[in-house]
Amino acid sequence: MADLHTVLITGASSGIGRAAARALARPGHRLLLGYATGEDRIHRLAGELRHATGVECVPVRADLGDPRAAVDSCLAAVDRVGRIDGLVNNAGVNDRSAADALDLKRADEVFAVNTLAPMALASAVGHRMIRDGVRGSIVNVTSVHETVPITGGALYCASKAALGMVTKVLALEFGRYGIRVNSVAPGETATAMNGVQDEDAYREIRRPDIPLGRPAGAEEIASLIAFLAGPDSGYLTGASVLADGGLALTAAEANARHAFTTVPPRENPPA
Protein backbone atom coordinates (compact mmCIF):
# COMPACT_ATOMS: atom_id res chain seq x y z
CA MET A 1 0.00 0.00 0.00
CA ALA A 2 2.12 2.84 -1.31
CA ASP A 3 -0.36 5.48 -0.12
CA LEU A 4 0.40 4.96 3.58
CA HIS A 5 2.13 7.87 5.34
CA THR A 6 5.61 6.43 5.78
CA VAL A 7 8.02 7.61 8.47
CA LEU A 8 11.58 6.37 8.96
CA ILE A 9 12.94 6.47 12.53
CA THR A 10 16.60 5.78 13.21
CA GLY A 11 17.71 4.29 16.52
CA ALA A 12 14.23 2.92 17.11
CA SER A 13 15.21 -0.09 19.22
CA SER A 14 15.40 1.80 22.53
CA GLY A 15 15.06 5.10 24.35
CA ILE A 16 13.69 8.13 22.52
CA GLY A 17 13.55 6.28 19.20
CA ARG A 18 11.37 3.52 20.59
CA ALA A 19 9.10 6.08 22.26
CA ALA A 20 8.88 8.02 18.98
CA ALA A 21 7.81 4.86 17.17
CA ARG A 22 5.02 4.38 19.70
CA ALA A 23 3.96 8.01 19.37
CA LEU A 24 3.88 7.81 15.56
CA ALA A 25 2.09 4.44 15.33
CA ARG A 26 -1.17 5.90 14.06
CA PRO A 27 -3.79 4.62 11.61
CA GLY A 28 -2.75 5.35 8.06
CA HIS A 29 0.94 5.31 8.95
CA ARG A 30 3.73 2.92 8.07
CA LEU A 31 6.90 2.91 10.18
CA LEU A 32 10.38 2.01 9.00
CA LEU A 33 12.19 1.14 12.25
CA GLY A 34 15.92 1.71 11.89
CA TYR A 35 18.37 -0.05 14.18
CA ALA A 36 22.07 -0.91 14.38
CA THR A 37 21.99 -3.26 17.37
CA GLY A 38 19.15 -4.76 19.36
CA GLU A 39 17.61 -6.83 16.55
CA ASP A 40 15.49 -8.77 19.05
CA ARG A 41 14.21 -5.53 20.59
CA ILE A 42 13.27 -4.04 17.23
CA HIS A 43 11.30 -7.11 16.20
CA ARG A 44 9.50 -7.15 19.57
CA LEU A 45 8.64 -3.49 19.12
CA ALA A 46 7.39 -4.07 15.58
CA GLY A 47 5.19 -6.93 16.79
CA GLU A 48 3.90 -4.89 19.71
CA LEU A 49 2.92 -1.95 17.51
CA ARG A 50 1.32 -4.12 14.84
CA HIS A 51 -0.77 -5.89 17.50
CA ALA A 52 -1.76 -2.71 19.34
CA THR A 53 -2.40 -0.37 16.40
CA GLY A 54 -2.45 -2.40 13.19
CA VAL A 55 0.30 -0.16 11.80
CA GLU A 56 2.72 -1.75 9.34
CA CYS A 57 6.21 -1.79 10.90
CA VAL A 58 9.31 -2.67 8.88
CA PRO A 59 12.65 -3.20 10.68
CA VAL A 60 15.57 -1.68 8.74
CA ARG A 61 19.14 -2.43 9.75
CA ALA A 62 21.15 0.78 9.39
CA ASP A 63 24.43 1.25 11.24
CA LEU A 64 25.04 4.99 11.20
CA GLY A 65 28.68 4.41 11.98
CA ASP A 66 28.95 3.78 8.24
CA PRO A 67 26.93 6.67 6.78
CA ARG A 68 27.09 5.53 3.15
CA ALA A 69 25.92 2.00 3.95
CA ALA A 70 23.22 3.34 6.30
CA VAL A 71 21.81 5.66 3.63
CA ASP A 72 21.85 2.85 1.05
CA SER A 73 20.02 0.51 3.44
CA CYS A 74 17.37 3.09 4.33
CA LEU A 75 16.76 4.10 0.71
CA ALA A 76 16.42 0.46 -0.29
CA ALA A 77 13.70 0.09 2.36
CA VAL A 78 11.98 3.24 1.05
CA ASP A 79 12.09 1.84 -2.48
CA ARG A 80 10.48 -1.40 -1.30
CA VAL A 81 7.49 0.38 0.25
CA GLY A 82 7.24 3.02 -2.46
CA ARG A 83 7.38 6.39 -0.65
CA ILE A 84 8.73 8.41 2.26
CA ASP A 85 6.82 11.18 4.05
CA GLY A 86 8.82 11.70 7.22
CA LEU A 87 12.23 11.13 8.75
CA VAL A 88 13.21 11.15 12.42
CA ASN A 89 16.99 11.30 12.78
CA ASN A 90 17.15 10.03 16.35
CA ALA A 91 20.12 7.65 16.56
CA GLY A 92 23.12 9.05 18.38
CA VAL A 93 26.09 8.24 20.60
CA ASN A 94 27.26 9.94 23.76
CA ASP A 95 30.86 10.87 24.52
CA ARG A 96 32.78 12.44 27.39
CA SER A 97 36.35 12.74 26.13
CA ALA A 98 38.75 15.05 27.93
CA ALA A 99 39.65 18.02 25.74
CA ASP A 100 43.38 17.43 26.18
CA ALA A 101 43.12 13.78 25.12
CA LEU A 102 40.86 13.72 22.07
CA ASP A 103 41.19 10.67 19.90
CA LEU A 104 40.63 11.18 16.18
CA LYS A 105 39.28 7.67 15.69
CA ARG A 106 36.65 8.34 18.33
CA ALA A 107 35.95 11.73 16.75
CA ASP A 108 35.27 9.99 13.43
CA GLU A 109 32.83 7.64 15.18
CA VAL A 110 30.95 10.38 17.02
CA PHE A 111 30.62 12.67 14.01
CA ALA A 112 29.65 9.79 11.72
CA VAL A 113 26.68 8.83 13.90
CA ASN A 114 25.66 12.22 15.28
CA THR A 115 26.24 14.45 12.25
CA LEU A 116 27.33 12.91 8.95
CA ALA A 117 24.81 10.05 8.78
CA PRO A 118 21.75 12.13 9.76
CA MET A 119 22.84 14.90 7.39
CA ALA A 120 23.32 12.45 4.53
CA LEU A 121 20.05 10.70 5.30
CA ALA A 122 18.13 13.97 5.47
CA SER A 123 19.66 14.99 2.14
CA ALA A 124 18.76 11.70 0.49
CA VAL A 125 15.24 11.60 1.93
CA GLY A 126 14.71 15.25 1.01
CA HIS A 127 15.74 14.44 -2.54
CA ARG A 128 13.15 11.64 -2.70
CA MET A 129 10.46 13.92 -1.31
CA ILE A 130 11.26 16.63 -3.87
CA ARG A 131 11.33 14.11 -6.71
CA ASP A 132 7.98 12.61 -5.69
CA GLY A 133 6.26 15.90 -4.80
CA VAL A 134 5.89 14.93 -1.12
CA ARG A 135 5.45 17.79 1.34
CA GLY A 136 7.17 15.98 4.16
CA SER A 137 8.76 16.59 7.53
CA ILE A 138 12.26 15.87 8.83
CA VAL A 139 12.97 15.94 12.57
CA ASN A 140 16.52 15.83 13.90
CA VAL A 141 17.19 14.98 17.54
CA THR A 142 20.02 17.19 18.76
CA SER A 143 20.62 18.11 22.43
CA VAL A 144 20.58 20.98 24.87
CA HIS A 145 24.34 20.65 24.42
CA GLU A 146 24.16 21.94 20.86
CA THR A 147 24.25 25.34 22.58
CA VAL A 148 25.21 24.63 26.22
CA PRO A 149 28.76 23.31 26.74
CA ILE A 150 29.60 20.56 29.22
CA THR A 151 32.96 19.39 30.55
CA GLY A 152 34.15 16.46 28.44
CA GLY A 153 31.74 17.34 25.67
CA ALA A 154 34.01 18.67 22.92
CA LEU A 155 33.08 15.90 20.48
CA TYR A 156 29.47 15.43 21.57
CA CYS A 157 28.59 19.12 21.79
CA ALA A 158 30.28 19.93 18.49
CA SER A 159 28.54 17.06 16.69
CA LYS A 160 25.12 18.12 17.97
CA ALA A 161 25.78 21.81 17.26
CA ALA A 162 26.67 20.84 13.69
CA LEU A 163 23.41 18.90 13.32
CA GLY A 164 21.54 21.90 14.66
CA MET A 165 22.99 24.08 11.90
CA VAL A 166 22.30 21.38 9.30
CA THR A 167 18.66 21.57 10.41
CA LYS A 168 18.52 25.29 9.68
CA VAL A 169 20.27 25.07 6.31
CA LEU A 170 18.06 22.21 5.08
CA ALA A 171 14.97 24.06 6.29
CA LEU A 172 16.08 27.06 4.23
CA GLU A 173 16.69 24.99 1.09
CA PHE A 174 13.76 22.57 1.34
CA GLY A 175 11.10 25.09 2.34
CA ARG A 176 10.25 26.00 -1.25
CA TYR A 177 9.18 22.38 -1.79
CA GLY A 178 6.92 22.32 1.26
CA ILE A 179 9.37 20.16 3.23
CA ARG A 180 9.83 21.20 6.84
CA VAL A 181 13.02 20.51 8.83
CA ASN A 182 13.10 21.01 12.60
CA SER A 183 14.97 19.66 15.58
CA VAL A 184 14.23 18.65 19.15
CA ALA A 185 16.96 19.49 21.66
CA PRO A 186 16.46 17.32 24.76
CA GLY A 187 18.13 17.84 28.09
CA GLU A 188 18.90 14.86 30.28
CA THR A 189 16.52 12.05 29.34
CA ALA A 190 16.08 8.87 31.38
CA THR A 191 17.22 6.28 28.84
CA ALA A 192 19.59 3.36 28.82
CA MET A 193 22.13 5.44 26.88
CA ASN A 194 22.26 7.73 29.93
CA GLY A 195 22.54 4.83 32.36
CA VAL A 196 18.87 4.55 33.34
CA GLN A 197 17.66 0.99 32.92
CA ASP A 198 14.11 1.54 34.21
CA GLU A 199 13.07 4.23 31.76
CA ASP A 200 9.58 4.47 33.29
CA ALA A 201 11.01 5.67 36.62
CA TYR A 202 12.07 9.10 35.38
CA ARG A 203 9.60 10.94 37.64
CA GLU A 204 11.24 9.37 40.70
CA ILE A 205 14.77 10.52 39.81
CA ARG A 206 15.79 13.71 41.59
CA ARG A 207 17.80 16.37 39.78
CA PRO A 208 17.82 19.43 42.10
CA ASP A 209 19.82 21.57 39.66
CA ILE A 210 17.14 21.24 36.95
CA PRO A 211 14.25 23.66 37.61
CA LEU A 212 11.65 20.93 37.05
CA GLY A 213 13.65 18.70 39.39
CA ARG A 214 13.95 15.58 37.24
CA PRO A 215 15.10 14.29 33.85
CA ALA A 216 12.73 13.89 30.93
CA GLY A 217 10.95 10.70 30.11
CA ALA A 218 11.52 9.35 26.61
CA GLU A 219 7.81 9.66 25.81
CA GLU A 220 7.90 13.37 26.67
CA ILE A 221 10.55 13.96 24.02
CA ALA A 222 8.70 11.64 21.64
CA SER A 223 5.54 13.73 21.93
CA LEU A 224 7.49 16.73 20.59
CA ILE A 225 8.91 14.64 17.78
CA ALA A 226 5.41 13.51 16.82
CA PHE A 227 4.20 17.12 16.92
CA LEU A 228 6.99 18.31 14.62
CA ALA A 229 6.49 15.34 12.30
CA GLY A 230 2.76 15.98 11.98
CA PRO A 231 0.44 18.56 10.41
CA ASP A 232 -0.20 20.54 13.61
CA SER A 233 3.26 22.10 13.24
CA GLY A 234 2.67 22.94 9.59
CA TYR A 235 4.10 26.48 9.76
CA LEU A 236 7.18 25.56 11.79
CA THR A 237 10.52 25.02 10.07
CA GLY A 238 14.15 25.64 10.96
CA ALA A 239 13.26 25.59 14.66
CA SER A 240 15.09 23.91 17.51
CA VAL A 241 12.59 23.04 20.23
CA LEU A 242 14.39 22.93 23.58
CA ALA A 243 13.01 20.33 25.99
CA ASP A 244 15.34 20.43 28.97
CA GLY A 245 13.19 21.04 32.05
CA GLY A 246 14.71 24.50 32.32
CA LEU A 247 18.33 23.28 32.53
CA ALA A 248 19.65 25.94 30.14
CA LEU A 249 18.17 28.65 32.37
CA THR A 250 20.52 27.79 35.22
CA ALA A 251 23.85 28.70 33.62
CA ALA A 252 24.50 31.71 35.89
CA GLU A 253 22.85 30.37 39.03
CA ALA A 254 25.89 28.89 40.80
CA ASN A 255 27.91 32.04 40.26
CA ALA A 256 24.96 34.23 41.26
CA ARG A 257 24.70 32.40 44.58
CA HIS A 258 28.39 33.02 45.20
CA ALA A 259 28.25 36.62 44.00
CA PHE A 260 25.25 37.40 46.18
CA THR A 261 27.11 36.32 49.31
CA THR A 262 30.06 38.56 48.49
CA VAL A 263 28.23 41.76 47.51
CA PRO A 264 29.22 44.44 50.05
CA PRO A 265 26.28 45.89 52.00
CA ARG A 266 24.96 49.26 50.95
CA GLU A 267 25.65 52.16 53.26
CA ASN A 268 22.10 53.42 52.80
CA PRO A 269 19.84 50.46 52.01
CA PRO A 270 16.45 51.30 50.50
CA ALA A 271 13.59 51.69 52.96
Distance between CA atoms of residues 226 and 15, nearest Å: 15
Going from the C-alpha of 114 to that of each of 91, 93, 161, the distances in angstroms are 7, 7, 10
Q: Which fold has domain 5-262?
A: Rossmann fold (3.40.50)
Helix, strand and coil percent figures for the chain, each rounded to 5: 50, 15, 35
Active site (annotated) includes residue 156: yes
Residue of 35, 156, 202, 235 with catalytic role? 156
Residue-wise pLDDT tens for the chain (271 aa)? 458 899 999 999 999 999 999 999 999 999 999 999 989 999 999 999 999 999 999 999 999 999 999 999 999 999 999 999 999 999 999 999 999 999 999 999 999 999 999 999 999 999 999 999 999 999 999 999 999 999 999 999 999 999 999 999 999 999 999 999 999 999 998 877 766 666 677 777 888 999 999 889 999 999 999 999 999 999 999 999 999 999 999 988 888 887 766 555 566 655 5
Which residues, at least 6 apart from 255, have a Cβ–Cβ distance to it below 8 Å?
none
